Amino acid sequence: MSEHAVPFHLPEIGEEEIRAVTETLRSGWLTTGQRTKQFEQEFAQAVHATHAVATNSGTAALHLALEAVGVKEGDEVILPTMTFAATAEVVSYLRAKPVLVDSEPDTLNLDPDAVKQAITPRTKVIMPVHFAGHPCAMDRLLSLATEYELKVVEDAAHALPAADHGRMVGAIGDITCFSFYATKSITTGEGGMATTHHAHYAERMRSMSLHGITKDAWSRYAGTGSWYYEIREPGFKYNLTDIAASIGIEQLRKSRRFWTARARIAAAYHDAFNELPEIQRPLCRPGYEHAWHLYVIQLNPERLRITRDDFIEALKKEQIGTSVHFMPLHMHPYYRERYGYHRDDFPHACAAFERSISLPIYSRMSEADIRHVIDVVRSLITQYRR
């Protein structure tokens, strides 16, 4: 067993974030306030959006976005089966139906052809997920949305920063939702952001994130605020605190450097695995900027004498952290039992799940860390190839 440990992920928190949190704590204002507003403004600028609404999680952002575009009971929302629980569960929050579709076999993003086949008179929203940080085929999805009068709400939890032919993810669909969970490209511990060009969506999400009461209700406790507020509709409690926002401001300012580091690691993996037919490497199509939030390899089982699960265990013995993104939603008990999905309904997603391993890729990785991962993967391939 190697003594060189490489965790799956470590956030990069510096003195700037620590100082910003300390300043916020000393300011006497801890909840949503001016620092949250600053974070929203700087984030909107970074992704070329007009408006940004900070939330306490990416899940909250998705929920607010679907509510803002008018998803109601009985509506249908099309989304990929190859995603995390949050993408579909927010649809259920609104008593709508998540309609799952298969993935493209190369990017693992939702397949626009499958989306078209899934559209019915009840479809309200297409919800693309930019898997691992590779943008979806947004032109085709936007064309479908226009043809069928649908909204596009993007799950961009993996996609900061990412771009589709020069357009930043965050400024393409009707609303785009980001996550700042601890393992994401930038982090506030827990947190999220919804971006849009539409003022009415931003106003709706901002109000509904604070119980459905008057805009900027947080300011009623400030010296310039008023005690008076009105409840427009029963909303939620999804606002981000100034403590978290102060971390986010500093993280956002480092996000391009973080991306450069991840892109360098992806390039090193790519070169190292180039001549290994036992491994299918992730790709980046021409015209796209990949966020490289994840680096997902797929094993070719017909060329190996080891299963994917045993390969993960072998990496673990060498103290290399990994994960699997994702077990498709249609394979989970809830979706099988509630909607009648079967394992073979989405063959591309199912095949990818059975072969996939997410390797470490984060800005704090040293050259020795990168080399250790490469050496162990190559050694295992050599040891177990047929």
What is the residue-wise DSSP string for 39-75? HHHHHHHHTT-SEEEEESSHHHHHHHHHHHTT--TT-
- The DSSP element (H or E) to which 167 belongs, if any, is strand 167-168
The pTM of the full predicted model, rounded to 2 decimals, is: 0.96
SS3 186: coil
SS3 358: strand
User: Nearest to residue 245, comparing CAs of 15, 11, 33?
Assistant: 33
pLDDT for 82-132, tens place per residue? 999 999 999 999 999 999 999 999 999 999 999 999 999 999 999 999 999
CB 346 within 8 A of CB 288: no
CB 162 within 8 A of CB 130: yes
Report DSSP state, residue 33: S
DSSP, residue by residue, 274-300: TT-TTEEPP---TTEE---S-EEEEE-
Q: How far apart are CA 370 and CA 320, in angstroms?
A: 10
SS3 123: strand
* Distance between first and last Cα of the chain: 24
> CB 361: neighbour CB atoms within 10 A?
25
pLDDT for 325-364, tens place per residue? 999 999 999 999 999 999 999 999 999 999 999 999 999 9
Question: What pLDDT, on a 0 to 100 scale, did the predictor assign at position 220?
Answer: 59
pLDDT for 37-57, tens place per residue? 999 999 999 999 999 999 999
Q: 240: alpha, beta or left, given left = phi > 0 and alpha = psi -120 to 50?
A: beta
> CB 243: neighbour CB atoms within 10 A?
19
Amino acid at 166: G
User: Nearest to residue 55, comparing CAs of 248, 201, 238, 183?
Assistant: 238
What the block records as the tokens of 262 is 């991840």
- Residue 69 CB partners (closer than 8 Å, separation 6+): 124, 125, 151, 153, 174, 175, 201
Residue 184 a catalytic site member: yes
Hey, what domains does the chain have and what are their CATH numbers? 15-252 (3.40.640.10), 255-384 (3.90.1150.10)
Question: What pLDDT, on a 0 to 100 scale, did the predictor assign at position 215?
Answer: 59
- Residue 126 CB partners (closer than 8 Å, separation 6+): 77, 78, 79, 115, 141, 144, 145, 150, 151, 152, 153
Question: What pLDDT, on a 0 to 100 scale, did the predictor assign at position 213?
Answer: 86
Question: What pLDDT, on a 0 to 100 scale, did the predictor assign at position 267?
Answer: 98
- Residue 224 CB partners (closer than 8 Å, separation 6+): none
Task: Report, as ranges of residue numbers, the positions in the chain whose pLDDT lies below 50.
Answer: none
CB 20 within 8 A of CB 155: no
As a residue count, the chain comes to 386
Question: What pLDDT, on a 0 to 100 scale, did the predictor assign at position 10?
Answer: 98
Question: What pLDDT, on a 0 to 100 scale, did the predictor assign at position 177?
Answer: 99
Question: What pLDDT, on a 0 to 100 scale, did the predictor assign at position 325?
Answer: 97
Of residues 72, 97, 184, 237, which has the active-site annotation?
A: 184
Q: How many Å is the maximal CA-CA distance in the chain?
A: 73
Q: Which residues pair with 298 in a beta bridge?
A: 280, 356
CB 130 within 8 A of CB 141: no
Question: What pLDDT, on a 0 to 100 scale, did the predictor assign at position 221?
Answer: 57
